[in-house]
Amino acid sequence: MDNTQSIAGFLDTYDVESLTVSTAAVGFDTDKINDATVTSGGGKARAVFVTCETSRVRYWFHGSDPTSTIGHELFPGQSLQLIQLQQIKDIRFIRHSADSVDAVLRVSYQR
């Protein structure tokens, strides 16, 4: 598997976070998605880039919580990019049932 990461385009990264994923489903930080520091025009995230650093996670991006056994899988070393605001708001992650250590996701917010 090729773990090469590349991001090309016209968006700038304006914020980052490390998201710990355990046994309860979690999503991205709403304040970071909406970026309240921008007072006019284009403050919301247009894309996010996520890398999985440690344990596997499962995720859904349609508004429902995944379970530890049901949902798309993201493995350590893999990345995920979302480029639709509603999916960025709706995505939820949970630690994979086969892993006993919490996962860490690195998230870059772009606009």
**Assigned domain for 9 exists:** no
At 55, which CATH number? Answer: 2.60.120
**Assigned domain for 49 exists:** yes
**Assigned domain for 23 exists:** yes
Of 10-19, 27-36, 86-95, highest mean pLDDT? 86-95
What string of DSSP letters covers 80-97?
A: EEE--HHHHHH-EEEE-T
The model's pTM: 0.87
- pLDDT tens, position by position, 35-70: 766 655 567 899 999 999 999 999 999 989 999 999
- pLDDT tens, position by position, 5-15: 555 567 888 89
Residue 27: partners with Cβ closer than 8 Å, 6 or more residues away:
89, 90, 91, 92, 93
**pLDDT for res 39:** 57
**pLDDT for res 74:** 98
Burial classification of residue 35, based on how many CB atoms lie within 10 Å of its CB (0-12 exposed, 13-18 middle, 19 or more buried): middle
| Domain span at 48 | 14-110
The total of other beta-carbon atoms located within 10 Å of residue 17's CB is 13
Structural domains in the chain (count): 1
